[in-house]
Each structure stands twice: as structure tokens, then as C-alpha cells.
Amino acid sequence: MTNEWDAVIFGGGAAGLSAAQMLGRSRRRVLVIDAGMPRNRFADHMHGVLGHDGVDPAALLARGRAEAERYGVVISVGTVDEIADDGDRLRISRSDGRVDWARALVIASGVRDDLPDVPGLRKEWGRSVLHCPYCHGWEVAGQRLGVLAASPASIHQIELVRQLSDDVTAFTAAVGPLGEAVAGRLAARGVAIEPAHVREVVRRDDGLAVLTGDGAEHVVDALFTGGEPDLGLGFADALRLTRSDQPGAPIAADLRGATSHPRVFAAGNATMPFANVPVAMGTGSMAGAAANAMLATEDFDLAVAQRTVLRDAEWEARYAAEDRFWSGRVNASVAAIVADLTPGRALDVGSGEGGDVVWLAEHGWDATGVDVSATAVRRAAEFAASRDVAATFVEGDGPAAVDGRFDLVLASFLHSWEPDFPRIRMLREAADRVAPGGLLLVVSHAAPPPWAREAPAHAPAMRTPAEELVLLDLDPETWSPEIVEVRQRDATAPDGTAAHLDDGILLLRRLR
Ligand SMILES: Cc1cc2nc3c(=O)[nH]c(=O)nc-3n(C[C@H](O)[C@H](O)[C@H](O)COP(=O)(O)OP(=O)(O)OC[C@H]3O[C@@H](n4cnc5c(N)ncnc54)[C@H](O)[C@@H]3O)c2cc1C
């Protein structure tokens, strides 16, 4: 389906496009959905952005879009109005009815500035009405400046603006009477305090006229103010993302942009309303990389799961292709060791057609075999019935398919030609199933049979029991090795000649 994406990003401001670059350059299928209203669209030049000083913000984004598209990122105009968790992916709905699905999401939807409700103010926003001394302060330095206080945080803004000019008027009605300490502090640096309510601002030839409720007019060259950040995150309500306690309750995200949802990352003003363009770029870049890292991990997890399914199917195909695969006789080394043991509960991991399990049951063990092949399990059950012994056979992928602990856990010739066969992991899982005081018996090919010395180049090396003991890395306080040796046994080669096989024997007792 064309609307299935590795990652969907919205929107397409400095943060979203930076995330898009990281994901696009990682060869992900990426869609950017953007309503096309970046926060700084009211300004025609930006500052504080290294290497881009004075550049038109729209030009920066146009360049960012072209760069992202070069890496295959699709950019689409639209407004996301709902995101829903759909299990292993997210469902993203737009206001025009279009729907997309993604395995990862980067929210970079920015903020909208809710300006003080003063007629004339919004019209001048980004021109002579400013919010950020770092972004536009230098350009008005030394001029007649005003600060329209909007919240207690505005006192700090007044202090920053005073750094730019000796001629600063603070309109403080919105924060109420200042109190002696604050008023004295502002007066100490020559800030004029105007407590009357600001009723309108009007652009005039000689500057921006700030009209106050007491009938006075104060003409300034620029008026700084701040707005309540409005994040407009209603579209993400269903995800129940954790929000931070900063003004505007932005999305809580760590340094990599990870949120409380494992598939959702966030960046830019959506996580930090105070972030400028470079910070938006940096957090966007991190969020894009983190989303790609999550996807890469998931790709490997999926491949392993798929490989296991294929491996199980391959074993089934091998059994199903022949009437009978193995001899049905117990392995001589197993018989020799188990003969001296007191019967109890036994589990055979990779029991095949049931030769060892049936032998164990005939010798008094309460024996269970587990194998991935349904055909092998069926044949093993038929074999047990033909010998009139009670034994249990379970179809499943290793020891995890059965419950409980056993006095003897046997893994006999648990080999495969596959390079990624997880033998050591399966042997560890087998060890977990041994009851305290019980035994783990691993019988294996310590060397290929003499008639098959030329194994495929990619086949896993056959190891000695001593080498496997090291790889198993079992807790020495819990496990005591009883036999670690290679034994030779007589065998008959496929051409009928006599031969010897090297069996690796590893017998470990669980102490606790
Ligand atoms: C007037 C003004 C001037 C500024 N000047 C400077 C400056 O000179 N230097 C500087 O460093 N910083 C400046 N800033 C700050 C700068 O605007 C932000 O740092 C920057 O825009 C944050 O980038 P962002 O990607 O997080 O969000 P934005 O740039 O705001 O991008 C968010 C995008 O998401 C889209 N969107 C939102 N909701 C949805 C939705 N539901 N579906 C689809 N798309 C959606 C929006 O339309 C927008 O295109 C200024 C800010 C203002 C207000």
C-alpha cells in the first residue's frame, strides 16, 4: 500500500525537516505532512542561526524541503487531525480524510503564539512587534523600545531588552502593581514604567504608537511581548503522551526525542516552546535518528522472528520429505550415562522421532520430548504407542514450549547447518529447565562424521564440550561439571563401511 510509511513526520518546519533528512538519508520511506504555517512566517529575516544570518525563514525551509526530497522524502500539504495506535503501527488521519500508517512518528508541529488581546498587535507581529531579543534585538538596538508585559516572566524580558537600549518603556498593567523591589530594580537601570492598560497599537510614520487607557501615546520603534504558547496537540490525545510542566504543557521528550510512546518521537517547539531555529534543528535531527534506530532494532527483531518461523518450517519439510529420518535407536552415549541414574522426570529438547524419549520411558522415566516438526512429533507418538510406553511429545520451538523443571534435561545432537542456529541460547534455555539436583546432558558431534568432512563453508563450527562449557557461561555456584569429554563410538558410514564418530559429552549437575 502506498500510504504505508516507515515514518511520518508532521510538520515541515526546522525540526520536522531535520528529522526528515536523518530518516531519508537512512533510506526510510518517509512522509512529511505539513500545514505550511511555521511559527516564524511573520518575519522576513532570521538571526541567531549559524551560517544563515539574515536569511528569509521561508527560504531556509524551501531549501530544507529540496534537500529532504533529494533523499526520497515525500512532502505533502495537509493537516493531521487524529493519530491512533494501531498495534505495531500508527494510524494518521488528515482533515481532508486521507489516512496514512507509519511504524514511527515524529511530532514537530511547533506552537502558535497566543498574543495579548490588543488591537493592532498581531498585524505588526514579526515586524515591529517582537518576542525574542536574540532573534531581532540587534536590528533595533539603541532605538526606542517598549515591552508589553504579558505574564510575570515578562520582567525577565524587560531586563533582556534593557541590554539592547537605554530607552525602554515597560507597559506592566497585565502583571498588576509591580511591588517596590521590582519597580526599584527596573528604575535602577532607567526603565520607564507605564502601569496604564494598553488599549491599541497603531503603525505610524514616526514609529509604533502604543495607546494607553489613560489617553497617553507612547511612540516606540519596536515593542517586545510574549504570548501563551498554544501547542494545539488535540490530534494526539488518543496516544496519551506525557506532557511536561512548562508553559503550554509541551510533549515530554528525552534528549533523543523519545516520548512516553515507543513509536512516537517529538522535536522542536512541540517539546520546547522557547526553542529557536538551531535548537529546533538539533532536536529534530536527534528525533529522526532515534526513530531510525528504533526501526533498525525492530527490523532485526522481525527478521529473527521470521527466521525462526522459516527454520521450523525447514525442519518440518525435512521430516515430511522422508518416511523415517533417524534410526529410532537410542544414542549409545546417552544410554551409557543414563543407565546409572535413578529415573525421574526427563525432557528431551529436539526429540525428533522419539528414539531417546521412548528408550527413557522404557527405563522408567516420566519422559517428554519437544520438537519443532509436527511430523516428527506425530511419528514419535506413534513409535511410543507401537512400543506400548507412555511418553509425552510436544510440538514447539525449544524448551519454552513446555512447563516445569526436570531431573534430567537432554539435548542430543541439537545441530543444524544454518549459520545462525541459536544452539547456545537453546542450551541455556534447556539448563533453565533442570530442577535443583538434576542434570543437563548435552551430547553432540564434536567433529563432523568422517564421511562428511566437507561441511558447507557457512556451517557453524563443531565445538568440543570444553569449548561449549565456556560459551554457555553458566554460574559456577549453580552448576558443577561431571563429564566434559569426547568419546568415540563405532558407526557405519552410508556406504556400509565401518567408521568412528566423535561424540561430545557434557554432563552438568545443577546444585541449587
Ligand atoms: C515572529 C517570529 C520570529 C522568529 N525569528 C526567529 C529567528 O530569527 N531566529 C530563530 O532562531 N528563531 C526565530 N523564531 C523562532 C522559530 O520560529 C522557531 O524556533 C521555529 O519555528 C521552531 O521550529 P519547529 O519546526 O519546531 O516549528 P515550526 O517552524 O512552527 O513548524 C511547525 C510546522 O508544523 C505545521 N503543523 C502544525 N500542526 C500541524 C498539523 N496538525 N498537521 C500538519 N502540520 C502541522 C505548521 O503549519 C508548521 O509548518 C521566531 C519566532 C517568531 C514567532
The whole-number pLDDT of residue 455 equals 59
The whole-number pLDDT of residue 416 equals 77
Query: 3-state SS string over 47-81?
Result: CCCCCCCCCCHHHHHHHHHHHHHHCCCEEEECCEE
The whole-number pLDDT of residue 460 equals 65
Q: Which value, to the nearest 10 degrees, does the dihedral of the CA atoms of residues 217, 222, 225, 231 take?
A: 130
Q: How many helices (H) and strands (E) does the chain have?
A: 11, 24
For strand 168-171 and strand 145-148, is the pairing parallel, antiparallel, or unpaired?
parallel
Q: How far apart are CA 157 and CA 148, in angstroms?
A: 10
**Mutation choice for ligand 1 from 8, 45, 135, 286, CB with most ligand atoms inside 8 A:** 135
Which tens digits make up the pLDDT trace of 142-171? 999 999 999 888 999 999 999 999 999 999
- Amino acid letter, residue 123: K
Q: What does DSSP assign to residue 180?
A: H
Distance 84 CA to ligand 1 centre (A): 24
Q: How far apart are CA 367 and CA 362, in angstroms?
A: 9
| Residue 489 or 239, more confident | 239
The whole-number pLDDT of residue 124 equals 96
The whole-number pLDDT of residue 446 equals 86
Q: How far is CA 484 from the centre of its chain?
A: 43
For strand 207-212 and strand 406-412, is the pairing parallel, antiparallel, or unpaired?
unpaired
The whole-number pLDDT of residue 269 equals 98
Mean pLDDT, rounded, for 413-427 = 83
87, pLDDT greater than 80:
yes
Distance 95 CA to ligand 1 centre (A): 20
Distance 211 CA to ligand 1 centre (A): 30
Q: Is there an atom of ligand 1 within 6 Å of 261 CB?
A: no
Residue 469: Cβ-neighbour burial (10 angstroms; 0-12, 13-18, 19+) = middle
Distance 151 CA to ligand 1 centre (A): 22
Going from the C-alpha of 85 to that of each of 223, 232, 454, the distances in angstroms are 44, 19, 52
Work out the pLDDT band at 438, boundaries 50, 70, 90: very high
Q: Is there an atom of ligand 1 within 6 Å of 280 CB?
A: yes
Q: How far apart are CA 202 and CA 259, in angstroms?
A: 43
Closest CA to 255 of 272, 273, 241: 272
Q: How far apart are CA 169 and CA 159, in angstroms?
A: 11
Superfamily of domain 4-113+229-302: FAD/NAD(P)-binding domain (3.50.50.60)
Which tens digits make up the pLDDT trace of 50-80? 999 999 999 999 999 999 999 999 999 999 9
**Mutation choice for ligand 1 from 8, 10, 33, 39, CB with most ligand atoms inside 8 A:** 39
Closest CA to 16 of 2, 33, 39: 33
459, pLDDT greater than 80:
no
Backbone angles phi, psi at 55, to 5 degrees: -70, 150
Distance 462 CA to ligand 1 centre (A): 60
Q: Is there an atom of ligand 1 within 6 Å of 351 CB?
A: no
Q: Domain residues of the chain, as ranges? A: 4-113+229-302, 116-226, 322-510
- Average pLDDT over the chain, rounded to whole? 93
Query: 3-state SS string over 204-263?
Result: ECCEEEEEECCCCEEEECEEEECCEEECCCHHHHHHCCCECCCCCCCECCCCCCECCCCC
482, pLDDT greater than 60:
yes
The whole-number pLDDT of residue 331 equals 86
Q: How far apart are CA 13 and CA 284, in angstroms?
A: 9
Q: Is there an atom of ligand 1 within 6 Å of 39 CB?
A: yes
The whole-number pLDDT of residue 319 equals 87
| Grid coordinates given for 411 | 539435548
Work out the pLDDT band at 454, boundaries 50, 70, 90: low
Q: Are 59 and 38 in contact (CB under 8 A)?
A: no
Do 116-226 and 4-113+229-302 fall under one CATH topology? yes
Closest CA to 406 of 510, 277, 292, 489: 510
Angle between helices 14-25 and 277-321 (to 10 degrees): 30
The whole-number pLDDT of residue 1 equals 46
Backbone angles phi, psi at 332, to 5 degrees: -60, -40
Half-sphere exposure of residue 309: CA atoms within 13 angstroms, side-chain side = 6
| Grid coordinates given for 293 | 534506530
CATH of domain 116-226: 3.50.50.60
Distance 57 CA to ligand 1 centre (A): 9
CATH of domain 322-510: 3.40.50.150
Beta-carbon contacts of 67 under 8 Å, excluding residues fewer than 6 positions away, are: 17, 21
Q: How far apart are CA 170 and CA 15, in angstroms?
A: 33
Residue 442 β-bridge partners:
411, 506
Q: Are 394 and 351 in contact (CB under 8 A)?
A: no
Q: Is there an atom of ligand 1 within 6 Å of 84 CB?
A: no
Work out the pLDDT band at 116, boundaries 50, 70, 90: very high
Angle between helices 423-432 and 465-472 (to 10 degrees): 70
Which tens digits make up the pLDDT trace of 219-271? 999 999 988 899 999 999 999 999 999 989 999 999 999 999 999 999 999 99
For strand 80-85 and strand 90-94, is the pairing parallel, antiparallel, or unpaired?
antiparallel
The whole-number pLDDT of residue 458 equals 59
Q: How far apart are CA 281 and CA 287, in angstroms?
A: 10
The whole-number pLDDT of residue 131 equals 93
| Grid coordinates given for 143 | 532605538
